[in-house]
Structures are given as C-alpha cells and as structure tokens.
Amino acid sequence: MYARRTKGWGAVVTYALAAFAAGCIQEKRRLAADGDATGTNDATGTSDGTGGADATGEGDADGVFEIIDCQGCIIGDACRADGELDGQDPCNVCDPARSLSEWSLRSECDNLPGCVTAAVCNGSSCSYSIADGQCFIEMKCFANGALQDGDVCFACDPARDQTAWTSTRASCNDGDACTYEDVCDVGVCRGQTNDCSDTFDCTLDFCDGGRCVHQVLGNQCLVEGECFAAGASRSGDPCRTCRPLVSSSSLSLDVGLTCEDNDVCTETSTCDVTGTCSAQPTSLDEEPNGSALTAQDIGVATSGEFSETAVRGNIIGADLDVFRWGMVMLNTGAISAPRAEVRFDVPVGVELCLYARCGQMIGSSFAPTVQCGQMQGSALDDKTPGCCAVFEPGAEVSLELSSICAGQALVQGFGFASVRTVGEPDATTCGGYSLAWGATD
C-alpha cells in the first residue's frame, strides 16, 4: 500500500498503487499565507518521487504546508520505513502489512508457535520459554526425537539443546554396500569397511557392490589354494605351468617345454602331449671315466683322512665308472691303504673295486703289493692292482684295501675306485650312487 497525507488539509487519502521500495519520500510546497496555493504541484511531479514540484518559495512557517509521500507507515505524522523500530520501544516495528498508521509488535514475539510460552520483548531482543520435551528450531516446534528432514544423524533432543539440532549415534545407512554396522558419527553416517582379504599374495582383494572380489594379479595364477608365478609349475608335474594369458585358475599343459624328470639316467627331457616329462636314456659314451688313464680326479687325502662330501655318480647299463684321488701315507711300514664307502640305488647287483698305485706322478708310478683276502683280485692296468667285491641291489658298503709300496718310509701314491653293474645289464639298467673316499693309517 502507498499512503499519502497532507498536513494542514485535515484529510488522509490512501492510494492503492504499485509496491515501492521501503522508505519515505517527503515533498515540501510553499503556499500563500491566505491559503492561495500558488505553488501547486505540476504534472511533472510523479507519485514515485522521481520528478515533482520544485520548492522555490522560502515562505514563513504559517505559509508552508508539508506533503508526505510514504512507502512505509505514517505514525505520529512521520513516515517510518518498513521494518523501522520504534525509538521509544524497540519491541515495536513498522509493518505496513499489519498497520499503516500504528506500530506493530515485533514478529519475534508475536504469533509464536505453541511450544513457545511467556514471550517477552527485551529491548532489541525477544525472550521466551520452550515447553518441556520440545525443541524450537528455525521458528518451528519439534517433538522430542523428531529428525531433521528425515536425517537420523540429527534429531530434537531437548535434554541437550532445545534450540538446535543435536547429532546422534543412531544406526544409519551410508549407502555403501561394502560397509557394515553403519552409525552416525558427528552428524555423518559412517560404516566399517568389509575385510575382503583372502590371505593370498597373488590376488588383489576389494569389495564391489557388497561382494568381495579377489582378482588374480596379471602375472600370477591361483590354483587350488596355491599361488604360482608365470612359468612356475607344481612339484612333480613340470609340464603344467602357470600361463596367465591362458588361465589364471589352472596350470596349463606346455607341450615341448624343457623339463627335469629328476632321473639321472636320462638325457634332456621335454613335455609331451600327455603332460609327461620324458626323455631317452643317457648313452654310454657320455660317461668316459672308464679306465685308469681317464679316471675322474676327486681330490687328495692324507693317511687317516676321509672325505666329508661324497661324489655322486650314475650307473648306466654296462658302464664302468673309475675315480682317482691322491694319497700321502705317513707310516714307516710304507702301507698305502685306499678306503671307500658307497651307497647304491640301482636295480641290479653292483661290483665295487679298490686299487692302489705308488709314486708321485702317474707317469713315473709303480705297482704296490696288495692283499685281497676274501675279495677278488683285479687290476686296472699293470701298475694299478686291486681287489673287488659284488653287492646286492641297494646295498651300503665299505671297503678298505691294504697295499704296500716297498722300500719307502714316506709314500705318495694314488687310490682308485671303480663301480659297475653285474649280471646282464642293458641300456635301461640305470641308477645312482654316492662314493666317499680317503686313506687309512
């Protein structure tokens, strides 16, 4: 509403015009003392105050009438802006929507909802009481336990605060299917993250849509609860390997792969279409240590010493293996005594022989005198006599050869041992053995 009052004319006229910005516009017009209004408003003075009559006359007080164009309230012959407080009583305010001519009680203390009682305006503020068991928040009443816009993490809790929402510890749903036991925490719904660990190093474990996912790493395989790196195989099955591009959940057959069949009697093995690691038996010409001249040197022993590490060898068919070691004999009787212990793992009978030779060099050596007793006499050559014994399959044996290098108090010589199968071996007869060696006192 737009109020217009003319002082001295004894009338108030109210116009229903368009809304204007809050405030007052005052216009003064000088009038003749006899009441002749010589200074009348011309057409250029509009009701919105953008134009208007000019105040060119400086007449005395009896000849001046004040015209007020007010866009708020006209109270006590003065224009008050919309929302302006009463200077005498700040509980009063100009509210054109409620009254154009009188002060209105400030809205903070007027028309308050039912949960607010004993409202009193104190200067520029309003004091009031809130009913027990209720909250008064944002000018609205809420019962105990009422939620803020349905959010269980904020509620009316009069025991803690009657004028603001209180954060809760209520159960909630954070919207994440990968969490559990969700609860409000300082106004935020939070849950415990699902533990999806499967304890395998070859998987990436995470939760997706509430379901645990165990993603096998790109260069790994997970087969029957066991992790395999690319190219690895299970013990005893060398022909099936981890090939992630083929399958990460099973071992794949790798035909043609070089493998190890752990058989000392075979040549290089490969995987066939049945997944078997197979190879041809090792040929006899691959073991050339078959004589005194081609014997395999395995070390030196002083009398009384015995090797801590055994030599390993293979018996293939009718193959003969010969080993040689140096001996230094420290006794006045000039007795040279090679000693050997052998453990066999072959399917047929085995012959073990011990031989001796006197001298510092193979080329300038000479034959000792040997005593075989219950063993069978034998010789590698004319300078290397010895004795032999035959043993059953799988036997563990220990032999000692008594030999004399005549005429020498300090003797340097050589001990020899030979191993071969007996009976009627063929190319498929094969096995392994270990030979410990040394010299007795």
Domains of the chain: 2-105 (no CATH), 112-193 (no CATH), 203-278 (no CATH), 284-439 (2.60.120)
| pTM, 2 dp | 0.40
Strand partners, 315: 431
- Smallest CA-to-CA distance from 310 within 327, 298, 324, 328 is with 298
Cβ-proximal residues to 302 (8 Å cutoff; 6+ apart), any chain = 327, 328, 330, 439
Mean pLDDT, residues 45-54? 40
For the ranges 54-68, 155-169, 204-218, 384-398, the lowest mean pLDDT is seen at: 54-68
**Cα atoms in the 13 Å half-sphere on the side-chain side of 427:** 9
What would the two tokens of residue 7 be? 């002082």
Contact in structure between 269 and 260 (CB atoms under 8 Å): yes
Confidence band, pLDDT 50/70/90 cuts, at residue 134: very high
pLDDT digits (tens, 9 = 90+) for 106-128: 767 777 788 988 888 877 677 88
Per-residue confidence (pLDDT) for residue 230, from 0 to 100: 94
Mean pLDDT of the chain: 78
Per-residue confidence (pLDDT) for residue 210, from 0 to 100: 87
What would the two tokens of residue 151 be? 């959010």
Contact in structure between 350 and 390 (CB atoms under 8 Å): yes
Per-residue confidence (pLDDT) for residue 92, from 0 to 100: 86
